[in-house]
């Protein structure tokens, strides 16, 4: 495993086209696309890594996995009255279907659906308390108390969150937001600004791997369902392509991170800040394609 990860990191370093960073969150716009890290936390308790696996990055939409787990813990299956379970086939921040589908977002991994998940775990508590619970969940999953939120990134996102404010107001107009728009956007943007290294993220994803030594933070049924949603919706309109190329459930973030689960085997984190046209890590996706091909860890 160690040799394979080193080989993948070397191939990433040699790749000329590293993709482009997202520019709509100013604080993330200047990040060096030459960085690449990968880490694998295996079911037997080992942790392998290569490249820049100890460099913290903004997990952004990868946080939607933890937010969904927390929201499900709060209200259980009732959440499916407010958000669907189908891929949208549209970009992560699209407003298009919300009008036609009466304020019920297609799934919890596009921004509109993630705002509903945030509103659900926020409920009537303060953003500070809700984010405290989210961090407690992530730290328990990763077995790492050092994981934190980058306040500068959160504020940078809030200052330019015109799309997310639009989505939140749209949801509110259909009565599908309980807390105020400002509270939900504030909490959601802080959630996205959680920082982790590849090693920390691989550890944090272990609760989605069904094996005896993994942290049992959700029921077996929820774990299966979260994995199913990652497979079908985790890469937005690039979800089919990721399933085709990698064959494992994954959740990407616009910071360039991807969390990938190999059921029963491992939790994998890969990071490279340059993105492909879908807003998912370009080199991260290519690395996972190689990894899946070489290990045979596709679920298909
Ligand atoms: O809401 C946003 O736009 C960002 N905080 C997160 C978007 C994101 O990570 C999309 N993923 N590739």
Q: Angle 61-194-93 (CA atoms, 0-180°, nearest 5)?
A: 25
- The residues, ordered by sequence, that sit 6+ positions from 51 with a Cβ below 8 Å of its Cβ are 5, 9, 12, 13, 35, 36, 37, 38, 198
- What are the pLDDT digits (tens) for 266-289? 999 999 999 999 999 999 999 999
Domains of the chain: 2-60+195-295 (3.40.710.10), 63-194 (3.40.710.10)
CB distance 201 to 140 below 8 Å: no
- Report the mean per-residue pLDDT for the chain: 97
Q: Which two tokens stand for residue 295?
A: 């290990």
- What are the pLDDT digits (tens) for 107-117? 999 999 999 99
Residue 236 is a catalytic residue: yes
The string of DSSP codes covering 123-185 is TTS-HHHHHHHHHHHHHHHHT-TT-EE-HHHHHHHHHT-HHHHHHHHHHHHTT---S-HHHHH
- What are the pLDDT digits (tens) for 151-168? 999 999 999 999 999 999
- What are the pLDDT digits (tens) for 250-265? 999 999 999 999 999 9
187 lines ligand 1 (CB under 6 A): no
Residue 213 is a catalytic residue: no
What percent of the chain has pLDDT above 70?
Answer: 100
252 lines ligand 1 (CB under 6 A): yes
Give the position, in ligand 1's atom list, of the atom nearest the Cα of 60.
9
Q: Which two tokens stand for residue 261?
A: 């689960």
- The residues, ordered by sequence, that sit 6+ positions from 11 with a Cβ below 8 Å of its Cβ are 287, 290
- For tokens 């919300």, name the residue: 98
**pLDDT over 90 (residue 126):** yes
Residues present in the chain in total: 300
Helix (H) or strand (E) holding 114: helix 111-122
CB distance 67 to 121 below 8 Å: yes
The pLDDT score that the predictor gives to residue 257 is 98
Q: Is 236 annotated as a binding residue?
A: yes
200 lines ligand 1 (CB under 6 A): no
- Active-site residue, from 254, 260, 267, 270: 254
52 alpha carbon – ligand 1 mean position (Å): 22
Angle between helical axes of 162-173 and 181-192 (0-180°, round to 10): 130
Measured in degrees and rounded to the nearest 5, phi and psi for residue 250 equal -150, 155
Q: Report DSSP state, residue 281.
A: B
Q: ipTM for the complex?
A: 0.98
CA distances from 17 to 31, 111, 269, 271 (A): 15, 28, 21, 15
* Top mutation candidate among 59, 60, 230 for ligand 1, by most atoms within 8 Å of CB: 60
CB distance 66 to 60 below 8 Å: no
164 alpha carbon – ligand 1 mean position (Å): 10
Residue 254 is a catalytic residue: yes
The pLDDT score that the predictor gives to residue 22 is 87
């Amino acid at each position: 495993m160690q040799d394979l990860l080193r080989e993948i990191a070397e191939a990433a370093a040699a790749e000329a086209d590293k993709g482009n960073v997202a520019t709509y969150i100013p604080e993330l716009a200047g990040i060096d696309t030459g960085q690449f890290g990968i880490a694998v936390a295996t079911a037997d308790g080992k942790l392998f890594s290569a490249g820049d696996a100890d460099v913290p990055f903004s997990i952004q939409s990868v946080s939607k996995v933890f937010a969904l787990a927390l929201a499900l813990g709060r209200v259980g299956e009732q959440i499916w009255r407010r958000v669907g379970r189908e891929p949208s086939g549209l970009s992560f921040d699209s407003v298009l279907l919300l009008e036609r589908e009466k304020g019920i977002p297609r799934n919890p991994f596009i921004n509109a659906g993630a705002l509903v998940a945030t509103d659900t775990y926020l409920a009537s508590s303060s953003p500070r308390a809700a984010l405290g619970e989210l961090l407690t969940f992530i730290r328990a999953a990763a077995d790492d108390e050092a994981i934190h939120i980058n306040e500068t990134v959160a504020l940078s996102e809030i200052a330019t969150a015109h799309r997310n404010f639009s989505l939140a107001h749209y949801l509110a107009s259909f009565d599908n937001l309980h807390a105020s728009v400002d509270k939900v956007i504030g909490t959601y943007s802080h959630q996205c600004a959680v920082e982790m290294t590849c090693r920390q993220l691989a550890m944090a994803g272990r609760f989605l791997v069904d094996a005896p030594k993994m942290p049992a933070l959700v029921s077996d049924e929820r774990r299966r369902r979260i994995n199913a949603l990652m497979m079908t919706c985790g890469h937005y309109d690039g979800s089919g392509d990721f399933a085709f190329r990698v064959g494992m459930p994954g959740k990407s973030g616009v910071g360039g991170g991807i969390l990938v689960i190999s059921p029963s085997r491992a939790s994998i984190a890969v990071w490279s800040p340059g993105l492909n046209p879908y807003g998912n890590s370009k080199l991260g996706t290519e690395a996972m394609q190689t990894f899946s091909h070489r290990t045979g860890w596709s679920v298909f």
